Structure 1
């Protein structure tokens, strides 16, 4: 069924939040959007948000299959899988197998976690950011460029090589309001209104390296990031500098 504009959009159980390493699982098609998107009752696919791209992959059913180009957020928290143009869609009610483009997602997880650590070695306000499978960038409120980029890269690599644990915690909206210093990114406001906000912690509670609100997917330990390289630093306005980070092969 397609969802008429006046009907509320169904929601999907976000399996990617329970296990970011899950690559394949079963689900059922709940509905199609007016634009041909697919809503499942449970999804491994992360929807574009917080600078991280939506996941891609495949849906398989019976004798059919379709390729998912990206994943976006719909109304009321729905996760919408967007097929490539011209793909055949599984009808509502069809049991399907979700197959994630794992190499691309795992790249996102490694880069996203590395960017959290970049905000540790450059302890300035973050004004923007972007993640891809091989590189990412953060924009900082940084009037002057870093004097020693190699020293920053060495500090970042040292944190990565400590193989720090990456875990999540949850706090209430009220606790976040009482601790505004947790929010590093000025351009992206953490999602509020659901009663709880997800925090991503790097390190342990006793030896914490970083703690900030984030809905994205991350590796379990920083050692999985591997070797990184800091790329060019671009001037973006009078007060901003854009710092690029690359995963090394």
Structure 2
């Protein structure tokens, strides 16, 4: 059993049809889904599932199966809800929340391209996000980061998503600032996100098509979290 990840090829779509494959304590697994599962610092999508009788059930979160990574579970509200294998469903994601995550995730890729240091942590929210860098010295400046980020945003740079084969996984790792984390490999392939002429990274998240879509941002703060950890937080202006 596996779930076809529609969000990889259609991140702007918000409604889809699917069939329930399995029901467990983890939620409902579908044959295909637009709901992005929690991972890579990006929260899982929320939204709703509509049953054949018109009953709408709220999806509180989405995650991958811890062992079967190709299976995606939709965590639904209400223990009294009854799904069954083979049931036809309509899914609707919270489009506004998803788009905020797409904008911020792409923004953090721009930030990553500006700091020549390994990334040790990431968190993406619908209003702000942050990256942790392995930097022993405080060499970053909020005003400089804000100016450079907005310059790249306003340049309107194309953002591409594509997959590489398992044979190219090693090359993908060499391009990654997250050297200590394995790239998002599924079915022998690695998904890559390329901000043309700026950055190429293995990444399984959802992104906007053009940097201009991010909108203006502000580097809110830079924190020293440890001797070798600098946390850079950004938010939408």
TM-score of the aligned structures, taking structure 1 as reference length: 0.89
The answer on whether the counterparts of 1:66 and 1:89 sit within 8 Å (CA) in structure 2 is no
Question: In the alignment, which residue of structure 1 is the partner of 2:214?
Answer: 225
Q: How far apart, CA to CA, are the structure 2 residues paired with 1:166 and 1:178?
A: 20
Equivalent residue, structure 2, for 1:175: 168
The alpha-carbon deviation at position 157 of structure 1 amounts to 0.6
SS in 1 for 2:198: strand
Aligned mates of 2:164, 2:204 — CA distance in 1: 13
Match of 2:226 in 1: 237
Alignment of 1:153-164 (within 5 A): 153-164=146-157
Cα RMSD (Å):
1.6
Q: Distance in 2 between matches of 1:65 and 1:180?
A: 42
1:210 to 199, 204, 219: 199
The match for 2:11 among 7, 20, 26 is 20
Structure 1 90/240 Cα, relative in aligned 2: closer, same or farther at 3 Å?
A: same
* CA distance 1:87–1:103, shift in 2 (3 Å): farther
Structure 2 match to 1:4: none
- Return 5+ residue gaps in structure 2 as ranges: none
| 1:179 CA drift (Å) | 5.3
Alpha-carbon contact 2:26-2:73 (below 8 Å) kept: no
Q: Is the 8 A contact 1:67 1:87 kept in 2?
A: no
Q: Where does the alignment leave 5 or more consecutive residues of structure 1 unmatched?
A: 1-9
* Partner secondary structure for residue 236 of structure 1: strand
- What's the offset of the Cα at 1:93? 1.6
Give the SS at the match of 1:144. coil
Match of 1:144 in 2: 137
Indicate the residue corresponding to 1:99 in structure 2: 92
Residues paired across the two proteins, number: 234
